[in-house]
Amino acid sequence: MTSLDPNPSIAGGGDDPMITNDAEVLDPLGDAEDEAVKNRAKVGSARPSSLLYTYGPGSIMDLPGFATMPAGLDDWDRIWKRRQHIPAIEEPRLLDVARLHLGNQVESLRPFPWQPKQNPFSPDGDDLGIPARVFPQWLRCTGCDMLAPLPRFAYENTHPFRPDQARFVHNKCPGRRPRGGTKKKSSSKRQSPGVPAQHLLTCTNGHLDEFPYDLWVHRGTHCPKVESPALKMREPNLGGNIGSIVECQSCGLTRTMAEGRGRAGREKLPQVCRGRHPHLNAFDATCQALPALIMMGASNLWFGSIQSTIVMPRTAAEEQGALADRLRRELGADKLEKYSTDLGIIRDLADGRVALGGIDDDQLGQIVSEAMAPGESEEARLERRANWDPVELLVPEWEYLQQETLEPDADQPDLLVTEVERGPELPPGISRVIAVDKMKKINAVLGFTRLDEMDRVNDVARRLVKLTRDGKPTWIPATEDRGEGIFLQLDLDAVAAWEQTVEASALWQAHRQSHRRNFQRRFSETAKAVDPDSRLPSPRYWLLHTLAHILIREMAMTCGYGAASLTERIYGWTASPERRAAAGILICTTASDSEGTLGGLVALAEPRRLQDVVNAALRRMSRCSSDPICAMRTPSDPEDFLHGAACHCCTFASETSCERANRFLDRRFLLSLPTAAGELTVEGFFGSIDAL
């Protein structure tokens, strides 16, 4: 078989992006032949939403035969060079956020390198894909327990229509010696598949490295008998890989992986992080963080820093900025500068690439000038980034929804909103209902973190793992989701009055103290300078968040979509000099790989159906199968959980639905629940269940 630098990648073809083998000595998406064996590049596929939220660059995708890591954007560029025209997703507000955090060199948002096929046998998109690397590259043989790096195994992927059968095998595997018996005669044709050795080292700066099994079993030294000892990894019980035993076949030493667990185990691990970024095939110069043991499938291995926005009507300035970005991207800065005084040539160069119809010369001159203008200074950008609040992406959406009249607009094909009459039995705290028949949401990944998830991208800038080797990407991956939803707005005056009473309550003080403890413990190594009180959402956010969760659970019973397909978007903040107060929720469902959704959710905006859903949800929340334990749950020192009267039985939602990982929830903010003597409580915004 041709020697491969084993770097699988995700390639286009079919309905989902495919994962394929990428090698420095071969076409990244080509097939390698060696005599009669043909190994193919494609090794799997993933949906766009998974590639964005779960398996982005630097994450680990566990395939049936082995694991891969999507590579950094430098390797994606090699794939995009196969297209003369590189598509871009235009959303000025989200692009501005990307530039704010990553630098002014960011030119565009790009979709995944994938192309739909005209028919099942069409070659369209076969040359596209997302490059990835085999990681981890230490495998364990399932036949004889051999623990060895990748070159000791042979790669097999010969079926053209079964990329899921790609695997690494141990040729001439001797098998295991039967307990209490003699070793069976091995067959020269025996092959045993290899599986990833799941122990890795990571640090809070986002580095990830292979576990040093050789040094581990020899207590920090090398084998005294041979330079490259033969290792085995045995599973003594059914408890999983953390109890694995590593054995040196050359000198007989053994050591269990369980010794590396916990605070005491961390002191036995290497005390120096090598600064490795496998997705970039690179190392950072220095890293002062201590490595920690982590399993390949751990949920805290990869936290994507995702920003999203709903496409809203653009202002004249935003439209002009979008055209300037398009001209700069399509024509290049050199041509713009060369022909800036001859707008006729600019129009000729832009013909078929940038739509300039209806734009007169005065407007075009302003657009060209903006395209040539230098960006803001680095000092100004860093200062703006330090003061940035994620709410800034939500404010334009809230302001648009505050218009007195909302009617279908033919100039906005991606947004169709209509104000709906309130049902007579809808709780009085809900002041407005808007049916979102059609919407488009743009999502972009700015980077990722490991071990700890940051509340904001700008918390600790050094912790955001870079997507390119130089840390200055010129583009970032993004997706377009289309769907539908329902927007509910609460009475702002009523919310403000209720919020004042909550902030003075003992229950709110208990939540505040618990949040401080949680924040300091969760960010103990990375964000000690951040004031935890500045990151505690206001009581109105807790109210809106809890309301969104109970509606998602209730709507899933009647709208035709599963609860995991419904998501929330919370508009909850107090007034400030920069923005008006907000109190509203958008329950929506979107899809990134279709033209939209089926209308089952927005149909619930009909007055009678909506009031039935809302009232049923509130009544259901008056009781929980875990009561009275759930209804009385209040954090006290040393507890640091970030919810009150909420649990999996009544309020929690799936991770795909909740924007805050089931934090900041409390049924007592919705309803006045029955209390016991001495129990902390507040008056619910919607009163008691008897009043509904």
Angle between helices 92-102 and 378-386 in degrees, nearest 10:
100
Does the pLDDT value for residue 185 go beyond 70?
Answer: no
**How is residue 490 written in tokens?**
């609460």
Element (H, E) at 449: strand 430-449
pLDDT: which is higher, 180 or 126:
126
Q: Report which listed range, 119-133, 569-583, 596-610, is most confident.
A: 569-583
Give 406-413's long-range contacts (Cβ < 8 A, gap of 24+): 406/434, 409/313, 411/313, 412/313
Confidence category of residue 593, pLDDT binned at 50, 70, 90: low
pLDDT for 26 equals 40
Q: Give the model confidence (pLDDT) of 76-111 as tens digits.
A: 998 888 888 888 998 999 999 999 999 989 999 999
Q: Give the model confidence (pLDDT) of 326-373 as tens digits.
A: 888 888 888 888 888 888 888 888 887 888 877 888 888 888 888 888
Does the pLDDT value for residue 688 go beyond 80?
Answer: yes
CA distances in angstroms from 217 to 136, 172, 214, listed in the order given = 19, 26, 6
Which ranges of 360-416 would DSSP assign to H, the alpha helix? 361-372, 378-386, 395-401
Cβ neighbors of 229 (< 8 A, separation 6 or more) are: 214, 223, 248, 249, 250, 251
Walk across the sheet containing 146-149 and list its strands. 154-156, 167-171, 191-196, 138-141, 146-149, 231-234, 245-248, 254-256
Q: Tally the residues of the chain.
A: 692
Which ranges of 442-483 would DSSP assign to H, the alpha helix? none
Q: Give the model confidence (pLDDT) of 9-62 as tens digits.
A: 444 334 555 555 444 434 555 665 554 567 877 888 888 888 888 899 999 999
Separation of alpha carbons 398 and 582, rounded Å: 7
On whether the CB atoms of residues 614 and 427 are closer than 8 A, the answer is yes
Question: Cα dihedral angle (371, 376, 378, 382), rounded to 10 degrees?
Answer: -120
Q: Quick one: average pLDDT of 380-398? A: 91
Separation of alpha carbons 629 and 651, rounded Å: 14
On whether the CB atoms of residues 8 and 1 are closer than 8 A, the answer is no
Separation of alpha carbons 133 and 140, rounded Å: 18
Question: Cα dihedral angle (392, 395, 396, 400), rounded to 10 degrees?
Answer: 170
Domain ranges, ordered by start, for the chain: 1-87+112-193, 198-295, 302-311+375-468+476-692
175: left (phi over 0), alpha (psi -120 to 50) or beta: left
Q: Give the model confidence (pLDDT) of 293-302 as tens digits.
A: 999 989 889 9
* DSSP β-bridge partners for residue 37: 34
3-state secondary structure of 496: helix
Surface-to-core class of residue 292, CB atoms within 10 Å of its CB (0-12 exposed, 13-18 middle, 19+ buried): buried
Q: Residue 365, Cβ neighbours under 10 Å: how many?
A: 15
pTM for this one?
0.87
Q: Give the model confidence (pLDDT) of 477-489 as tens digits.
A: 999 999 999 999 9
Surface-to-core class of residue 153, CB atoms within 10 Å of its CB (0-12 exposed, 13-18 middle, 19+ buried): buried
Separation of alpha carbons 375 and 355, rounded Å: 24
